[in-house]
Amino acid sequence: MNGELERNLGEQPIAGIMAEHELKARDLVTASTEHITHKMVSRACKGRRLTPNVQSKIRNALNASSHRSYSTTDLFSY
């Protein structure tokens, strides 16, 4: 891709973790104390490259809604 950064990286581990806990995007949006949207969660699951700031917001929301403690490396493979 001529040095261009690959943006679509395939399904990420966060999708499996959410399925394991039977969580939907709305559950993360509701549990979040920071501003996140359904679209951000959808992009995270599909493997769209996110900024570190958005990754941490999604991680915090997942940790709050699942009552577990996941790290960013547990959720994203990039």
Instruction: State the DSSP H helix or E strand holding residue 20, giving kind and residue range, or none if neither.
Output: helix 13-20
Query: For the chain, which ranges sit under pLDDT 50?
Result: none
pLDDT number for residue 5: 63
SS3 21: coil
Report the interhelical angle of 38-46 vs 52-66 (nearest 10°). 100
pLDDT number for residue 3: 56
* Residues 56, 62: Cα–Cα separation, whole Å: 10
The domain ranges of the chain are 13-67
Tokens of 23: 């969580």
